Amino acid sequence: MAKLYFYYASMNAGKSTNLLQADFNYRERGMATMLFTAGVDDRFAYGTITSRIGLEAKATPFDPATDIAACVIARLATEPVACVFVDEAQFLTAEQVGQLAHLCDTVGIPVLAYGLRTDFQGRLFEGSARLLAVADALVEIKSVCVCGRKATMNLRVDAAGNPVAEGQQTEIGGNDRYIALCRRHFSESLGRPISAA
Binding site residue list for substrate: 178
Cβ contact 94:126 at 8 Å = yes
Contact between residue 141 and residue 185 where contact means Cβ atoms under 8 Å apart = no
The residue annotated as part of the active site, out of 79, 88, 171, 188, is 88
- Residue ranges of the binding site for Zn(2+): 145, 147, 182, 185
Catalytic annotation on 88?
A: yes
Q: Binding site membership for ATP: which residues?
A: 9-16, 87-90
Residues 53 and 152: their CA atoms lie apart, in Å, by 21
> Residue positions in the annotated binding site?
9-16, 87-90, 145, 147, 178, 182, 185
Q: Is the dihedral of CA 19, 3, 97, 152 positive or negative?
A: negative
Q: Quickly list DSSP for 127-156.
A: HHHHHHHH-SEEEEPPEE-TTSSEE-EEEE
CA distances in angstroms from 3 to 66, 134, 183, listed in the order given: 21, 10, 31
Which active-site residues does the annotation give?
88
